[in-house]
Amino acid sequence: MSFDPIVQKSISEQVAQRLLTMIRSGLLKPDQQLPPERELAAMLGVGRPAVREAIRGLALLGLLRIRQGEGTFVSSLETRELLEPLEMIIDLNAGTLEALFDARLIIETGVAALAATHIDDAELNRLVANVEDEARLLSDPAAFAAADVEFHEAIIEACNNPFLQSIAGSLYMLGKKSRTITSRIPATLERSLQDHREILDALKARDPQKASDAMRNHLIHVRDAYRGAAPRKDESVHD
């Protein structure tokens, strides 16, 4: 029998953990400026290099923002901002995007089913108006994509489960790259509009299984459109 040695955390890791704890507890609030590096090092009783490394690490995670000439600030801590590092990973790894589609198929189909049991008339009216907007925006891919975001966000909100809302919302926003590609294809927009109508019909009927199936079909159509339109490795994608 053998045991791995206990690895002691570096000073910079301890500093990062301390700052992270302060953010979680609310001692450091969104958009709040941190003390200058020299003062922060003195307050924590560590060297400036350790503070500098910790700040850089938390900045890469999207928790801190370094503004040249101004200082270091806690980020807004909004979901979209915190997802930026993951978006970069997806941009660099096509296989990760495929995994994202798999995750969405599991989570968003369940969210649609739950939404069918909780959705109220006001939320249904919002979706009806959204689908009507989409029908008018087929010739404007950028505007259609914005309406697509609103449609999915409305369903996520209607599921009435804060945990699933957070997970599903994050997964959907991470799909930005695939939407950038597929929104350029007119036939894909028309297919999405039809899919959205079928999802809406299922939600109107308050039918969880039908809503889940309709969402699954939609996500499969989007995935297939992405696979058919995704650029080769030697091509680039521009927003």
Give me the CATH number covering residue 26.
1.10.10.10
What residues make up the domain containing 63? 11-76
In terms of domains, do 136 and 38 share one? no
In terms of domains, do 30 and 113 share one? no
- The interaxial angle of helices 94-118 and 208-229, nearest 10 deg, is 160
Report if residue 234 sits inside a domain. no
In terms of domains, do 175 and 102 share one? yes
Report if residue 180 sits inside a domain. yes
Domains held by the chain: number: 2
Report if residue 1 sits inside a domain. no
In terms of domains, do 31 and 94 share one? no
In terms of domains, do 166 and 102 share one? yes
pLDDT given for residue 190 in this prediction: 92
In terms of domains, do 169 and 223 share one? yes
In terms of domains, do 134 and 215 share one? yes
Backbone φ and ψ of 32, nearest 5° = -75, 140
pLDDT given for residue 9 in this prediction: 72
In terms of domains, do 88 and 61 share one? no
Report if residue 175 sits inside a domain. yes
In terms of domains, do 126 and 171 share one? yes
In terms of domains, do 34 and 63 share one? yes
In terms of domains, do 92 and 49 share one? no
Q: Give the pTM.
A: 0.63
Give me the CATH number covering residue 188.
1.20.120.530
Report if residue 152 sits inside a domain. yes
55, 72 in Cβ contact below 8 A? Answer: yes
Last residue of one domain, picked from the residues 23, 52, 76: 76
pLDDT given for residue 208 in this prediction: 97
Beta bridge partners of residue 33, listed in sequence order: 73
Last residue of one domain, picked from the residues 39, 57, 76: 76
Segments of the chain scoring below 50 in pLDDT: 92, 232-239
pLDDT given for residue 10 in this prediction: 83
Which tens digit of pLDDT belongs to each residue from 39-51? 999 999 999 999 9
